[in-house]
Structure 1
Amino acid sequence: MYWIDFPPAWTFYGLLSAWGLSRVEPVWLGFGPYHVALGGIVFLVGLGLMLWASATMLRHRTKVMPRQEAAALVTDGPFRFSRNPIYLGDLLLLASGALVFDAPLALLLVPVLAAILQRRFIRPEETMLRRGFGAAFEDWAARTRRWL
């Protein structure tokens, strides 16, 4: 049952909801003729950010999977700009779905997903990092934003 409460699963639930909203939203509320291209660009940026962050973590020989103890505090690569670049990528994937599905109301799901990720994953991970890396984590957290 772990896969049900897993960040990509929550992103999938959001995308499914965005698709559902696209079926009931009025046509006049759409994004316009370039929504698919823009959604594709946002998708590629989100996926690229996730891959960059994952590769950076693997290079430091620490776990990418949530809820597992980190072997290293990763502060380079995309982690210079965001403490949570993979979760930021999840938000971009959801936003891209809202664009591709031409469902502007689905953009309201992005802050909902952010709140879920923060409560279910980010806060517990930050507690583990604080416990494992102490002052080094506090210094990095003080100079690096949670999202952007």
Structure 2
Amino acid sequence: MRLFGAIDYPPVWLAGFLAVSWAVGRVFPLPGLPVTGLVLAGVGLALMLAAAGQMVLARTTFVPRRVPGAMVSRGLFAMTRNPIYLGDALILAGMSLFWNGLLALPLVAVFVHVIRKRFIEGEETVLRQRFGPDFDAYCARVRRWI
């Protein structure tokens, strides 16, 4: 269990889901949308990097399960409470399209569920404890995903 804890981070989950998506595209190839897939994956990567940059500028952590030093609610975080995880989902969807893995697209919903249960719910609990009514007001005006 200790080893799993050391690798239990969203990028590892994303890598695992990407590997399955790639395999599905190889075993059950269906004509994909490679250009659209690359664009979607690129948007996801840009979203992740921009959101992480905002968190660094706010002097707070973007590492899951660490206590945040600040609540970021502007910029990308004014449109979605989870721009990094949304970026992950876009990368998975985009690469599924790129790899002709149309049958792998339902994995995006599974990935979102796993990330919500393993990371988001705990992060929101910590944010609610740390920032109280400010976080509740933020949640009331900004959706979790889009």
Q: TM (normalized to structure 1)?
A: 0.93
Letter in 2 for 1:113: F
Give 1:89 shift. Answer: 0.5
- Name the structure 2 match of 1:20: 23
- Name the structure 1 match of 2:123: 125
Structure 1 range deviating more: 98-107 or 123-132: 98-107
| Corresponding residue SS for 2:105 | helix
Letter in 1 for 2:76: P
Give 1:4 shift. Answer: 2.6
- Name the structure 2 match of 1:102: 100
Q: TM (normalized to structure 2)?
A: 0.94
Q: Is the CA contact 1:22–1:101 (under 8 Å) kept in the aligned structure 2?
A: yes
Structure 2 CA distance, aligned partners of 1:90 and 1:42? 11
Alignment of 1:62-81 (within 5 A): 62-81=60-79
Structure 1 CA distance, aligned partners of 2:16 and 2:65? 20
Structure 1 CA distance, aligned partners of 2:109 and 2:44? 16
- Name the structure 1 match of 2:14: 11
Structure 2 CA distance, aligned partners of 1:56 and 1:76? 9
Q: Is the CA contact 1:3–1:9 (under 8 Å) kept in the aligned structure 2?
A: no
Structure 2 CA distance, aligned partners of 1:135 and 1:115? 26
Structure 1 CA distance, aligned partners of 2:12 and 2:106? 18
- Name the structure 1 match of 2:51: 53
Ranges in structure 1 where 5+ consecutive residues have no aligned partner? none
Deviation digits for residues 76-111 of structure 1 (CA, Å, limit 9, x no counterpart): 111000000000001011001101101101100000
Give 1:3 shift. Answer: 4.6
Alignment of 1:20-39 (within 5 A): 20-25=23-28, 27=29, 29-31=30-32, 35-39=33-37
Letter in 1 for 2:110: V
Structure 1 range deviating more: 92-101 or 121-130: 92-101
Ranges in structure 2 where 5+ consecutive residues have no aligned partner? none
- Name the structure 2 match of 1:147: 145
Q: Is the CA contact 1:14–1:113 (under 8 Å) kept in the aligned structure 2?
A: yes
- How many residue pairs are counted as aligned between the two chains? 143
